[in-house]
Structures are given as structure tokens and as C-alpha cells.
Amino acid sequence: MLTRPLCIVLAQIGLALLLGSWTASFPWWPFQMIAANFVCFAILWKLTRQDGEPFRDLYFRPFGTDLVAGKLGGWLGPRRFEHRALTVLRDAGLFLGILLALGLPAIAAARLIETQIPTAVEISRYGPLPLWALLSVTLLLPLTMPLAEVPWYFGYFFPKLEQLSSATGTRHAWSSALVITTLAYSVQHCFQPLLFDARFLTLRAVMLLPLLVLIAAIVRVIPRFMPYILVLHALMAVEVVLKCWGAA
């Protein structure tokens, strides 16, 4: 699981060597993510083939069953004999409702924490990039982020850790797996890029934690919502693209 943050750091080291200094690599951090995405996508492909599991499950249903029961399960679960289009529309509405009720406060908390990052440090993350680099980020970042990041933590390693915890007799195996993967995912943001500033590292490590806990819980409780989460992730990548263009 820690291969992904390691790839991100190694990519920054490579950029620093190419550009001549560590500081010069800061605005190029989207390329760290793109490089890590390609590597992680390839690893996920290989791991699922080794496990004999369908690769597409990472993106559509990472867990075999929903973690809901009783009346809640009947309300959130798929309807028998319901037309697929109606199921998609109903699920989209449910996901939007959850996002508005719980996701917006989590996003607001992230924005509030982000305002505490020193301005000079935050500005250094979005320096001017050449046109070819901006076009590459515009094309590749929103395309590769949904395919590699959420599926890495919550599509593959979350279920695997839950299975491992269950096999060892751990109580509430799903919740312990959620905590481990969510913390790893949250801390990864310290390396986007890696700036040796204690305040930046601390705030980046926790700013998205509430949102990631919510996403992990949705993936576990209602796994079929994974495609909607990936769409949301693509939109968040578009926000990064817009910031890159704004700094040009």
C-alpha cells in the first residue's frame, strides 16, 4: 500500500534532478501524481490477475456485499426487477444526497484547514508551467487520478486488509481496515509535493481526513457507489488543473 506514496516521492526526486533543484520541482507535482498513477494502475492490474479477481471490480464493486441490513439495507439496496436506468438514477440521487449532507461539511473543513497553510508555501505549489506541461496535466490528471488513487486504497487494499483482519479473528475487521487505509491515503497528501515545512506537512496530512473517512465508509457500506466517487475524484482533479492554468 505504501508503494504509492513512495512512487510520488521518487517522482519528485527525479523532477528535482532534471530541473536542478528541489524547490524547482514544486510546481511540477501534478506530474508526480500522473507518474504514480501509471505505476499503480499497472500494479493493480498485475495484483488482480494474480488474485484471480475481475479487474473491473476495483471500479464498480470492490466489496462483494453491501454492509447494510434490515430496513436500511432494503432502502439503500438495489431493487429487484428494477430497470437498470432507474437504478442508476436512484443511486445517483442517493449519492448526491449523501454528498450534500455529509460531503459538503467535510469539504468545508478541508478548505478551512487549507487556509491555515502559509500563503508563500501554497503559492510555491502552483508556479507557472510551460504550455506543453499544462496541456499534459489537463489531459492526463483528470483521466488517471480516478483510475489509480481511490481504487488503490479503497478498491484493493481496503478489502484485502479487511479479509486479513477477519482471518486473524480481529473484531470489527472492516473498521480497522478503514482506519489503516484512510490514514495512509490522508498522509499521502504530504508528498504532493514534499515541502520540508512542518506546518504544511501537518495540515496536509489531516485536511482531507474527514472527507476520506466518508468516502471509505460509502465504498464499504454501498460498494456500488464507487463509480460516482470516481467521477467526483475526476472533478477534484479538474480543480487542480484550473489552479495550474491560473498560475500560468
5: alpha, beta or left? (left if phi > 0; alpha if psi -120 to 50): alpha
Q: Are 223 and 63 in contact (CB under 8 A)?
A: yes
Is residue 18 exposed (0-12), middle (13-18) or buried (19+ Cβ within 10 Å)? exposed
Determine what percent of the chain falls in helix, strand and coil, rounding each to the nearest 5: 80, 0, 20
Q: What is the pLDDT of residue 68?
A: 57
Q: What is the pLDDT of residue 167?
A: 83
DSSP state of 73: H
Q: Are 222 and 76 in contact (CB under 8 A)?
A: yes
Q: How many CB atoms lie within 10 A of CB 41?
A: 17
Q: What is the pLDDT of residue 80?
A: 54
Q: What is the pLDDT of residue 85?
A: 74
CA distance 31 to 12: 8
Q: What is the pLDDT of residue 87?
A: 76
Q: What are the CA-CA distances from residue 233 to residues 82, 175, 203 (Å)?
A: 28, 23, 20
- Chunked mean pLDDT (size 10), the chain, 248 residues: 96 97 96 97 96 91 64 51 71 91 94 88 88 98 96 95 84 88 96 93 95 94 92 96 93
- From the list 107, 115, 117, 110, the residue with the least C-alpha distance to 195 is 117
Q: Are 176 and 168 in contact (CB under 8 A)?
A: no
